[in-house]
Amino acid sequence: MAEYLVLLHEDPVRTRNLSPTEMQALIQRYHEWIGGLRAQGLVTVGKKLKDEGGRHLRGDKGKMVVSDGPYAEGKDVISGLFVLTADSYEQAQALLAPGPHLEFGWIELREIDVIP
């Protein structure tokens, strides 16, 4: 068994154009999807990130330079993350495929490296 980091990227412009009815229906679908994975014990950490885009920290001649992350108006923001347990990339992909997220954004899937 391996663990995978699942990063939910989304295009804020696409989500903004949803109607209230569509948004409420989406909540239901996310719950069924992630709730289903959780019920099987496959999700260990599940977090939603704040909408403000966060901060970017960079070094410049030994000093830390802080800038704002992409605004909500940006094209691509990470809106949530969770850690998924699966045998392989293929199995992880199969578990993620039924979710609604790909209709509104894309998913970055990374295997968490474990030092033996």
Mark the segment that binds other proteins (CB under 8 A) among 26-34, 58-66, 86-94, 108-116.
26-34
- Considering the rule CB under 8 A, would residue 103 count as an interface residue with other proteins? no
Of 12 and 84, which CB lies nearer to other proteins in the complex structure? 12
Mark the segment that binds other proteins (CB under 8 A) among 27-35, 58-66, 84-92, 106-114.
27-35
CB atoms within 10 A of CB 92: 22
- What the block records as the tokens of 53 is 């885009």
Of 23 and 65, which CB lies nearer to other proteins in the complex structure? 23
Please pick, from the candidates 40, 44, 48, 102, the single residue that binds other proteins as defined by CB under 8 A.
Answer: 48
Phi, psi of 79 (to 5 degrees): -100, -20
- What the block records as the tokens of 21 is 């009815």
Q: Are 92 and 86 in contact (CB under 8 A)?
A: yes
